[in-house]
Structure 1
Amino acid sequence: MTVLPVLAFSASDRPEAQTALARLTARYGQVDEARADVIVALGGDGLMLETLHRNLERRTPVYGMNRGSVGFLLNDYVEDDLPKRVAQAVATVIHPLQMDAWTEDGRVHSGLAINEVSLLRQTRQSAKLRIEVDGRVRMEELSCDGCLLATPAGSTAYNLSAHGPIIPLDANVLALTPISAFRPRRWRGALVPHKSKVAFEVLEPEKRPVSATADGFEVRRVTRVEIRERRDVALTMLFDAGRSFEERVLAEQFAA
């Protein structure tokens, strides 16, 4: 006999998400997230990330249903037999990136990124970055709009839009992807082992200020950014059987 999970519902501000929230809580009830076995997130990929971040301490599994636009990290919206669907869902465990960003005043600001850590120029002038991997300089100077380091879970988001590779979850690599590289013009990025420590040194930070963002957490006028995977933090997303995250990643690589 399948034990049905206790569900808490969370929704974005979109009208369709709020409507779904009202219908599902009326049908299945509502509990506080602290008491739930699973959180059901109703919205888009942004809400899924927000829900995972909000539960970093509790690490409650999250089952998303698409009431947004893209919904790559979400399941299809179906109201019937929801507790049973959630109980039978396939778990996908992801590990976020730790960002430590130093600013011009010498302070360090830290954040976690489930999708990616991105560096972006703040003015009309291009950013100039030096890239290190495990303490070794791999690129002396990258002139660009920015650069990002993406997790497999985030490889289909901003990374893909920047022409980075899609990465299966079990590949044990991270995507290092330039954003509008000017010099070297033909550099398309690299795949680095997931255990690597990647660092960006901002060259000419006063003349060419750069911001660093870990998902939605932004730090401006950074001078150095260090990034590493947090294997000690395990977050769980749930997907319907036959629609696993691995299957979605594979299908995306053959999409027209």
Structure 2
Amino acid sequence: MPGFDRLALLASITDRAQDAEAALRAERDWVPLEEADAVVVLGGDGFMLQTLHQMLDAERVIPAYGINLGTVGFLMNKSRSDKAKHTRSIAERLARARTIAVAPLKMQATTNSGETFKFCAINEVSLLRETRQTAKLEVTVNGKVRIAELSCDGVLVATPAGSTAYNLSANGPILPLGSAMLALTPISPFRPRRWRGAILPESSEITIRVLEAVKRPVAVVADQKEVRDVSAVSVRVSTEQRLTLLFDPGHSLDERIVTEQFQV
């Protein structure tokens, strides 16, 4: 298996994932994540995101091959009910897998007290009101103010990989994986009523400034990491780090994104 001689195996805490891990552990030798050429991830999309963030935080990113033992499994490959067949074919599946590059977002948030936080997001960065009062946001793209005051529940910036998640639920557009675009999508916009969001080049830098930040507090979430009481948030694509997902032939992420657009 050229390029993938040393494999790591990670599993979520669910019974299904733990059972699959036990079967795979007995099938071959595995190495710790920090020594591996690639990692096999057993679980759902949430656990895959957790694994990818773990690698980003460690600043050592290797290809990840997911097997869906969760619910949706948008970032995962199909599992097989026949465990023996499944474990025998794992090496072959990895050898035949195609690679998909995913560019994460880099988010910097400043709080009302002046603290600064930096996180990466693979799916989206979302700003959400903390109280029953509507959030008021100023939206700037590449240094130019595009919306002086957006009254809404929040706004999010989604990658193509994340465009079918929260972004789609907020009526945002689905972005093909190779589009090199970002979705800027409002969440329950009140004013301006006609604005339904924008599709921007991935080279864009988006800055959201919270108006009346103390009276109308806003939190920001980068995938699973939250910062509360923010005054400003900037988002851009991270050109320093690229993630690699491995997919079985015929089950790639770009095909799933196209398929999702024809769901009725």
Fold equivalence (TM over 0.5): yes
Deviation at 1:6, TM superposition (A): 2.5
User: What amino acid is aligned across from residue 102 of structure 2 in structure 1?
Assistant: I
SS of alignment partner, residue 260 of structure 2? helix
| Distance in 1 between residues matched to 2:5 and 2:256, nearest whole Å | 25
Structure 1's consecutive aligned runs of 4 or more residues displaced over 6 angstroms after TM superposition are none
User: What amino acid is aligned across from residue 20 of structure 2 in structure 1?
Assistant: A
- Indicate conservation of the 8 Å contact 2:138/2:145, yes or no: yes
User: What amino acid is aligned across from residue 22 of structure 2 in structure 1?
Assistant: A
User: What amino acid is aligned across from residue 164 of structure 1 in structure 2?
Assistant: G
In the other structure, the counterpart of 2:215 is: 207
Matches for 1:89-100 after TM superposition, within 5 Å: 89-100=97-108
| Distance in 2 between residues matched to 1:179 and 1:23, nearest whole Å | 44
Deviation at 1:54, TM superposition (A): 0.9
2:114 corresponds to which of 106, 114, 134: 106
Deviation at 1:4, TM superposition (A): 5.7
1:70 aligned to 2:72?
yes
In the other structure, the counterpart of 1:242 is: 250
1:37 aligned to 2:45?
no
Deviation at 1:196, TM superposition (A): 0.5
In the other structure, the counterpart of 1:123 is: 131
Deviation at 1:30, TM superposition (A): 2.6
RMSD, matched Cα: 1.3
In the other structure, the counterpart of 1:134 is: 142
Unaligned runs of 5+ in 2: 81-85
SS of alignment partner, residue 27 of structure 1? coil
Unaligned runs of 5+ in 1: none
% same residue? 53
Deviation at 1:130, TM superposition (A): 0.6
In the other structure, the counterpart of 1:24 is: 24
TM-score computed with the length of structure 1 as normaliser: 0.97
Change (3 A) 1:3 1:91: closer
Deviation at 1:29, TM superposition (A): 3.3
Deviation at 1:119, TM superposition (A): 0.2
User: What amino acid is aligned across from residue 141 of structure 2 in structure 1?
Assistant: V
1:189 aligned to 2:197?
yes
| Distance in 1 between residues matched to 2:3 and 2:101, nearest whole Å | 21
In the other structure, the counterpart of 2:94 is: 86
In the other structure, the counterpart of 2:5 is: 5
User: What amino acid is aligned across from residue 76 of structure 2 in structure 1?
Assistant: L
Q: Which sits farther off after the overlay, 27-36 or 174-183? A: 27-36
- Indicate conservation of the 8 Å contact 1:92/1:238, yes or no: yes
| Distance in 2 between residues matched to 1:23 and 1:147, nearest whole Å | 43
| Distance in 2 between residues matched to 1:204 and 1:35, nearest whole Å | 49
SS of alignment partner, residue 166 of structure 1? coil
In the other structure, the counterpart of 1:157 is: 165
- Indicate conservation of the 8 Å contact 1:40/1:64, yes or no: yes
In the other structure, the counterpart of 2:48 is: 48
Deviation at 1:28, TM superposition (A): 2.6
Q: Which sits farther off after the overlay, 170-179 or 4-13? A: 4-13
User: What amino acid is aligned across from residue 14 of structure 1 in structure 2?
Assistant: T
User: What amino acid is aligned across from residue 189 of structure 1 in structure 2?
Assistant: G
| Distance in 2 between residues matched to 1:216 and 1:2, nearest whole Å | 34
TM-score computed with the length of structure 2 as normaliser: 0.94
Deviation at 1:36, TM superposition (A): 1.6
In the other structure, the counterpart of 1:147 is: 155
SS of alignment partner, residue 199 of structure 2? strand
